[in-house]
Structure formats: C-alpha cells, structure tokens
C-alpha cells in the first residue's frame, strides 16, 4: 500500500516549464532510468565473454576453444599455442594486448558518458551517447583486424609454415583453418552491449520527448523578451 502510494504521488508531481506550462515529473525520470539501465548493461558486459571460437579436429573430439573478454582471454590457450608454435605464430595472448590493457576503463568511460547524459536537457545528451552506439562496431572492427593479423603471421620458415596459407578466421559462423574446423559465435557479453545500444536509443527518444517542450518554452520566452525589449 505504501509503495503504491509513493508511486501515485510521483505520478502526480509536475515540472513547471519556463513558459508556465506543466509536465509530469515522471516524463523526466523515465529517460534517466532507461539510460541508467543501459549503463548497467555495459558494466555487466565487462565480466562476461564477448566472442568465442571453437576448433574441432579428429584428434580433439571435444574441440579446443577460446573465449574473448574485453580484458582477457580464456579457454584452451596452452593447447592452441602449442599447435600454433609449429606454424611460427605468436601466442594468442599477444593479439589485442594493447586494447585489453585499457578496455575496462574505456567501457567505464562509456557508462559515465551515459550517466552525464541523464543530467543534460538538450541535444548534447545524444552527442554523449554516440560513442556507446558505435562501440559494437568498433569492437567488431578491432576483432576482425586482430584475427586478420594473427592469421597472416605464419612464419614460412617454421616446421609447418608452408603447409597452411595465410587465413582470416570468421567473425561468425563456420570456417576452416588447415585441418581444423572452426565455429565462431558472439557471446552474452556482446549481446548485452547490443541490448545497451537498443536501450540507449529508446532512452534518447523519451529524452527528446521530455526536453523538447522545455527547449521550445525557453525559445518562446526569449522571443517574448525580444519583443518586449
């Protein structure tokens, strides 16, 4: 009963605009809550894998897999590195090491930008959200570049370097690397980022609906002041 009463009271609260018109307070709380939800999704994604690849071959019936997080790799790293050694390829951990060194701070910065947008009542809220909207594309582009460089790092002078031509593992789906079949897939961390992007777009729409009348009221007030002057 008390909770319902508080919610009812919030619904009844109003915000007086510069021109004297009124809007419900909940109209301004809703976009803020939505943007905060997007921030939570981004922060949660840090602790979950974004992408994975499984390599299958007759001698590895259970397959070998690697999981990519924003700040580290996990999985059958040792076994895969031992195989790649015969191709003269560097350890898996060397690919994207620079990005992983600051990725957590970058994601936190994205979340802070969204939080800053909560307190902005104009188009700058949308501008601050642009890095978040671009984040999935940046991640995919960087991952593809890492995979390309890694697959083209075969040393032709190594034991098996001449047996496998340069390759680029697929970002998604089934592929082949030498005698290994590969299955690449996006993981829950990346899907949380995509969900955050959708939530941000919804939040920006509600943000615009809430603050557009404020901007228009300020504009009318300025026009009246100019006419009076």
Radius of gyration of the chain (CA): 25
Residue 121 CB-half CA count within 13 A: 13
| 3-class state of residue 103 by DSSP | helix
The pLDDT of residue 68 is above 90: yes
Exposed e or buried b per residue across 121-154, where buried means at least 16 C-beta atoms within 10 angstroms of its C-beta? beeebbebbeebeebbeebbeebeebbeebbeeb
Query: How many CB atoms sit inside 10 A of residue 203's CB?
Result: 24
Among 34, 35, 16, smallest CA distance to 24 is for 16
Total structural domains within the chain: 1
CA gap 60, 113 in Å, rounded: 45
Global pTM value: 0.84
In a domain, 194, yes or no: yes
In a domain, 47, yes or no: yes
Within a domain: 151: yes
pLDDT tens digits, 182-204: 999 999 999 999 999 999 999 99
> What does the alpha-carbon distance between residue 76 and residue 228 come to, in Å, rounded to a whole number?
75
- Cα–Cα separations (whole angstroms), residue 142 to 60, 147, 171: 29, 9, 11
As a whole number of angstroms, the distance between CA 181 and CA 172 comes to 13
Helix, strand, coil abundance in the chain, percent, nearest 5:
60, 15, 25
Give residue 139's domain range: 34-213
Does 91 map to a domain? yes
pLDDT band at 1; cut points 50, 70, 90: very low
Across residues 195-216, what is the average pLDDT?
84
Q: Name the 3-class secondary structure at 132.
A: helix
Q: Which residue reads 């109209």 in tokens?
A: 27
Beta strands in 51-145 (DSSP E): 51-57, 60-68, 73-75
- Supply the CATH number for residue 121's domain: 1.20.140
* 21, part of any domain: no
Q: Is residue 95, in this structure, part of any structural domain at all?
A: yes
**pLDDT (tens digit, 9 = 90+) per residue, 138-169?**
999 999 999 998 888 877 776 665 667 888 88
Domain membership of residue 68 (yes or no) is yes
pLDDT at position 165: 80
Task: Tell me if 5 is assigned to some domain.
Answer: no
Cα 153 to Cα 82, 85, 144: the distances in Å are 15, 11, 14
Q: Each residue of 90-134: pLDDT tens digit?
A: 888 888 899 999 999 999 999 999 998 888 866 778 889 999 999
């Amino acid at each position: 009963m008390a909770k319902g009463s508080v919610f009812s009271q919030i619904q009844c609260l109003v915000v007086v605009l510069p021109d004297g018109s009124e809007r419900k307070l909940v109209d301004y709380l809703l976009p803020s809550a939505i943007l905060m939800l997007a921030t939570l999704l981004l922060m949660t994604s840090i602790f979950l894998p974004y992408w994975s690849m499984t390599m299958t071959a007759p001698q590895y019936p259970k397959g070998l897999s690697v999981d990519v997080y924003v700040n580290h790799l996990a999985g059958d790293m040792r076994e895969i590195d031992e195989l790649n050694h015969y191709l003269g390829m560097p350890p898996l951990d060397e690919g994207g090491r620079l990005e992983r060194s600051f990725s957590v701070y970058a994601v936190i910065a994205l979340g802070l930008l969204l939080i800053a947008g909560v307190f902005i009542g104009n188009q700058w809220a949308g501008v601050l959200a642009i890095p978040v909207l671009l984040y999935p594309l940046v991640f995919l582009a960087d991952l593809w570049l890492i995979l390309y460089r890694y697959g083209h790092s075969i040393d032709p002078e190594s034991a098996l370097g001449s047996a496998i031509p340069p390759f680029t593992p697929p970002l998604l789906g089934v592929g082949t690397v030498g005698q290994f079949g590969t299955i690449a897939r996006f993981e829950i961390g990346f899907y949380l980022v995509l969900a955050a992007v959708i939530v941000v777009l919804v939040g920006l729409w509600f943000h615009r609906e809430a603050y557009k009348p404020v901007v228009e009221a300020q504009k009318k007030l300025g026009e009246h002041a100019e006419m009076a002057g």
